[in-house]
Amino acid sequence: MLSARIRIAARLLAVATLAALTAGCFQPMYAEHTDGTPGLREKLMGVELPPIAKPNASREARVGVEVRNALAFKLYGTATGMPPTHRLDIRFSSSRSSLIVDPNTGLPTSENYGIDAQYNLIDNATNKSVMTGTTFSRVSYDMPGSYQRFSRTRAVRDAEDRAANEIAENIATRLASFFTAGT
Domain membership of residue 98 (yes or no) is yes
% of the chain exceeding 70 in pLDDT: 85
Confidence at residue 69, expressed as pLDDT on a 0 to 100 scale: 94
Confidence at residue 81, expressed as pLDDT on a 0 to 100 scale: 63
Orientation angle between helical segments 59-76 and 149-181, nearest 10 degrees: 40
Domain membership of residue 19 (yes or no) is no
Quick one: which of 133, 134, 136, 132 has its CA closest to 166? 136
> Would strands 108-123 and 86-101 be described as parallel, antiparallel, or unpaired?
antiparallel
Domain membership of residue 1 (yes or no) is no
pLDDT tens-digit map of 82-122: 789 999 999 999 999 888 877 887 777 788 999 999 999 99
Q: How many angstroms separate the CA atoms of 172 and 115, rounded?
A: 16
Domain membership of residue 32 (yes or no) is no
Query: 162: number of CA atoms within 13 Å, CB side?
Result: 13
Give the count of domains, the chain: 1
The residue ranking higher by pLDDT, 15 or 24, is 15
pLDDT tens-digit map of 25-64: 656 666 665 665 677 888 888 999 999 999 888 899 999 9
Angle at the Cα of 100 from the Cα atoms of 66 and 138, rounded to 5 degrees: 30
Confidence at residue 82, expressed as pLDDT on a 0 to 100 scale: 78
Confidence at residue 27, expressed as pLDDT on a 0 to 100 scale: 61
Confidence at residue 57, expressed as pLDDT on a 0 to 100 scale: 87
Output the domain CATH number for residue 143: 3.30.160.150
Confidence at residue 29, expressed as pLDDT on a 0 to 100 scale: 61
Confidence at residue 175, expressed as pLDDT on a 0 to 100 scale: 95
Confidence at residue 36, expressed as pLDDT on a 0 to 100 scale: 59
Name, in order, each residue with C-beta under 8 angstroms of 135's C-beta and a sequence gap of 6 or more.
116, 117, 119, 167, 170, 171, 174
Domain membership of residue 155 (yes or no) is yes
Domain membership of residue 175 (yes or no) is yes
Q: What is the residue range of 130's domain? A: 39-181
